[in-house]
Structure 1
Amino acid sequence: MSSVTEAPVTVPGAKGHTDGAGAFVPVQTRSERPRSYAPGDFERPTGREVNWKHTPVDRLSRLFDDVEGDEGGVSIAVSGPVAGAALGIGTAPRGEVFTPEDLPSAIAWSRAAEALYVSIPAAAELDEPVVIESVGGGVDLLAHAHLVIEAQPQSKATVVLRHIGVAQFAQNVEIVVREGAQLEVVTVQQWDDDAVHAASHQARIGRDATLRHVVVSFGGSVVRVNPDVELAGTGSRAELYGLSYSDAGQHLESQVYLHHKGAETTGDVLYKGALQGALARSVWIGDVLIGPDAVGTDSYEANRNLVLTEGARADSIPNLEIETGDIRGAGHASATGRFDDEQLFYLQARGIPEDDARRMVVLGFLSEIVQKVRVPALEAELFAAIEAELALEVGR
């Protein structure tokens, strides 16, 4: 395999401008963020930075230490119709798409000496999903991983990433979707209560190719999954969906970046979250950039949150940058609301008990995302997980 150049792409730090006093303007947009393979090029987050100010950085502190991970911190296994292989640093396609944009992802890049590589053969249509399961071995164990998923031209497949157990886990996921391929990647976080997981997903989609990317987060103390998708080829399409259910004390976060680079590209982003319990927290930040050559673009992003109890909080921040006027459409929306008492009363007035009525409303709200998974067994499992979360709320 050929080698990949590892030189940093940009110099990290804030962008500055001179206004007569030498003042500095901090980086604000996702496209301006510094990227580098070297952990030393990133400052240790304090919580004041634009990409960290909604995150409890103190609970992620182990992932900011540039040290070797623990043996057996997270064990990773591949099952299904395609086997995994290993890619060292500098071996293509590792690094073709991925360049770290924060400290945990840069540390994971350098500390994961070998990346797990899953390649879908050209023109293959897999009837069953490839499952990559990561199992945490202990609450105090630190682990780093880099995963490369490549869908060869005209292939069609689903890859499911499962995360269970407990660990302190920094993970990079690099996704390459070649010309005409159709790839679905579903990442499911069902960690134990004390797990901490920071994941950076970066993808590039080729000409007339499609990526469906689904983030599902239930378990863990802090889970931060940030997808970054580049619609590079003409006619490429990205469907980015997310579902989270945050309990008392949980912090579930996704910062989504969709970059329309090629012409006639299409983007659809929809994330939904439910929250219950004191200090339950969710954060969604959605950035869409329509570049100067992305003529004929059609793009829309939305985030919806349902707050079920007092003391829960959802932050929702959509952003849209457009650098060409020749587009078909672009928009964004965000809504966060409490449980609808009128809707609950309506159902109760028709003889439905209160607990059943609440269950119906929440399941109806979240089912739209579950049904986008398109893996029947996994859909059934996710509905069962939502039912279990609702049972906990009723039990309180």
Structure 2
Amino acid sequence: MSVASVTTNNDKSTNNANSTNGDTASEAMPTAGQHGIKEHSDGRFGFIPVQTRSDRFKSVNVADFEAVTGRELVWKLSPVAKFTDLTAGTLDGSTYDVSSTDVAGVSVDWVGRDDARIGLAGLPEERASANAWGAFEKALAITVSGEEPKEFTLTRANLGSAPRGAHTIIDAKPFSQAVVILENTGDARLTENVEIILGESANLTVITVQEWDDTAVQLSNHFATIGRDARLKHIVVTLGGSIVRVNPSIHLVGSGSDIEALGLYFADAGQHLEQQVYINHVGPHSRSRVTYKGALQGQGARTVWIGDVLIGNTATGTDSYEQNRNLVLTEGTRADSVPNLEIETGDILGAGHASATGRFDDEQLFYLQSRGISEDEARRLVVRGFLTEIVQKIGSAPLEARLQEAIETELRGTDGE
């Protein structure tokens, strides 16, 4: 399923000077006249659905959102009954233990809720995100400065089984360069917001790695705002956890801004791994490339990928492409893949999207087996080749090697299937 639309009106009734992507702390639902749509004269059709991705309701107050039922657009493919404590319950918003490498040009601090950077990159569009926003006591701020390349790793482990809300800021100062790796392990029941702010000409790679225990639940919303001539590479790697939902929302605000959004996921039996990716082209001459790849094996393995790209009426000269590929390894799995493209200006370089879900290519297996390779090893070679495209783009040799080994461990579960 894919949706492509061309629209000419992007009516916003409010504006927030403290938000570089045009979001407000609490925005009203779209008016009845949005895109020329009006209420029917007999009054029976008063509800006007949101027509433009950027016009979704936003608020930092959890009470502004209705209780989650699973019928909502953002929740309809999620097992909402399994994490009601994160969408409706009281959360522990206290600080927690982290470990990190000591790197010149990168600082880590806990900052108060009054920090001026909070809210700059984006605002909640759903209840779990708003619940986390209202719960955190202090935000974990990672500040990057200096033009020399650097690599920094921050690890969170064993956050516990109690429901928790958290907030993280990654602030890349103008002209800075860095690779920031966020590693997640152990147990957790976590809803969180991560804000990524790129100043002019900053070059930042953010890699979030989910290797949680089998019982862990994580609902994570990443918001990014990218300044003039800045470049963000955002990579989501999900291998562990019971339910893991990482939703990047990227706003290309500055002229010449660039995003490469990559994802790699491997779902085993009973796992639910979800990604809802939103790319918002606001500034002129911006560029985006989205590539997510996943593999599924085992009864009840489920993946969800939704890719929304909005090319706004100010985003002339945009160059955009998104794709999602899923490889099904066994029976009893399900992969949902929904690319959406919305264009509000005709003055672009190009825009496109693609999606595919399929099983092994029997001809590839036959070719490898005809060369003396066993069927199990042939299957592993095919899957490894399929996922390696993402791993090789990470840019951290030690992490790439570790992820290759983790994929090998996952693939051993396909033997005999």
TM-score by length of 1: 0.94
Residue equivalent to 1:391: 412
Question: Quick one: which of 126, 135, 150 aligns to 1:102?
Answer: 126
Task: Indicate yes or no: 2:288 matched with 1:264.
Answer: no
Moved more, 350-359 or 16-25: 16-25
Q: What is the letter of the counterpart of residue 320 of structure 2?
A: S
Letter in 1 for 2:128: P
On the 8 A contact 1:7/1:37 being kept in 2, the answer is no
For 1:10 and 1:67, how far apart are their aligned partners in 2? 24
For 1:250 and 1:75, the matched residues in 2 are separated by: 27
Give the alignment partner of residue 263 of structure 2, picking from 213, 234, 242.
242
1:57 corresponding residue in structure 2 = 80
In structure 2, which of residues 213, 227, 231 is the aligned counterpart of residue 210 of structure 1?
A: 231
2:97 corresponding residue in structure 1? 75
SS in 2 for 1:133: strand
Shift of 1:142: 1.5
2:71 corresponds in structure 1 to 48
Contact kept in structure 2, 1:300 and 1:331, CA below 8 Å: yes
Shift of residue 14, structure 1, vs aligned partner: 9.9
Contact persistence 1:173–1:199 (CA under 8 A)? yes
C-alpha distance in structure 1 between counterparts of 2:216 and 2:259, whole Å:
30
| Partners of 2:93 and 2:165 within 8 A in 1 | no
**How does 1:21-40 map onto structure 2 within 5 Å?**
21-23=43-45, 24-27=47-50, 29-40=52-63
Structure 2 residue 356 is matched with structure 1 residue 345: no
Rounded to whole Å, the distance in 1 between the matches of 2:55 and 2:64 is 15
Q: Structure 1 regions of 5+ residues with no counterpart? A: none
**Residue aligning to 1:226:** 247
1:67 partner amino acid = T
| Cα-to-partner distance string for 1:226-264 (whole Å, 9 max, x where unaligned) | 000011000110000000000000000000000110001
**Separation in 2, partners of 1:256, 1:15:** 27
Give the residue type in structure 1 aligned to 2:283: G
| 1:313-352 per-position Cα deviation (integer Å, ceiling 9, x unaligned) | 1000000000000000000000000122221111101111
Residues 70-102 of structure 1: CA deviation (Å, up to 9, x unaligned)? 878x63333231231122122111111231111
> Which residue of 2 is the match for residue 374 of structure 1?
395
> What's 1:299 paired with?
320
Task: Read off the aligned partner of 1:242 and give its amino acid letter.
Answer: G
- Return the alpha-carbon distance in structure 1 between the equivalents of residues 382 and 411 of structure 2: 11
Counterpart code for 1:36: S
Report Cα offsets for 1:207-226 as digits up to 9, x if no partner: 00000000000100100000
Q: Name which of structure 1's ranges 24-33 and 311-320 shifts more when overlaid on structure 2.
A: 24-33
Percent identity of paired positions between Structure 1 and Structure 2: 51
2:7 alignment partner in structure 1: none
Q: How many residues align?
A: 390
Partner residue, 2:386: 365
1:84 matches 2:108: yes
Q: After alignment, is 7-16 or 110-119 more displaced?
A: 7-16
Q: Is the 8 A contact 1:115 1:145 kept in 2?
A: yes
Answer whether contact 1:177 1:206 (CA < 8 A) is retained: yes
Residue number in structure 2 paired with 1:327: 348
Say yes or no: does 1:136 pair with 2:158: yes
Deviation at 1:144, TM superposition (A): 1.3
Backbone CA RMSD of aligned residues: 2.0
Q: 1:27 touches 1:50 (CA, 8 Å); kept in 2? A: no
Is structure 2 residue 273 aligned with structure 1 residue 252? yes
Residues 239 and 269 of structure 1 are in contact (CA less than 8 Å); yes or no, is this contact kept in structure 2? yes
Once the 2 structures are TM-superposed, how far is the Cα of residue 65 of structure 1 from its aligned partner? 2.4
- Mean Cα deviation higher: 63-72 or 243-252: 63-72
SS in 2 for 1:10: coil
Supply the distance in 1 between the matched residues of 2:52 and 2:283 (Cα, whole angstroms). 20
| Greater mean deviation of Cα atoms: 5-14 or 199-208 | 5-14
Q: Distance in 1 between matches of 2:348 and 2:31?
A: 31
Q: CA deviation at 1:197?
A: 0.2
Distance apart, 1:32 and its partner CA: 2.5
Offset at 1:7?
6.5
Tell me the SS of whatever aligns to 2:171: strand
1:11 alignment partner in structure 2: 28
2:337 to 287, 306, 316: 316
Is the Cα contact below 8 Å between 2:94 and 2:137 reproduced in 1? Answer: no
Paired residue for 1:180? 201
Q: 1:15 to 1:52 in 2, by over 3 A?
A: farther
The aligned residue for residue 150 of structure 1 is 171
State the SS of the aligned residue for 1:344.
helix
* SS of residue paired to 2:292: strand
Matched letter for residue 39 of structure 1: V
Query: Once the 2 structures are TM-superposed, how far is the Cα of residue 141 of structure 1 from its aligned partner?
Result: 1.5
Separation in 1 of the partners of 2:123 and 2:55?
13
The amino acid across from 2:280 in the alignment is H
SS at match of 1:392: helix
Tell me the distance in 1 between the aligned counterparts of 2:367 and 2:203. 43
Contact 2:91–2:132 (CA<8 Å) still a contact in 1? no
Give the secondary structure class of the aligned counterpart of 1:358.
Answer: helix
**Maintained 8 Å contact 1:274/1:307:** yes
Partners of 1:4 and 1:91 within 8 A in 2: no
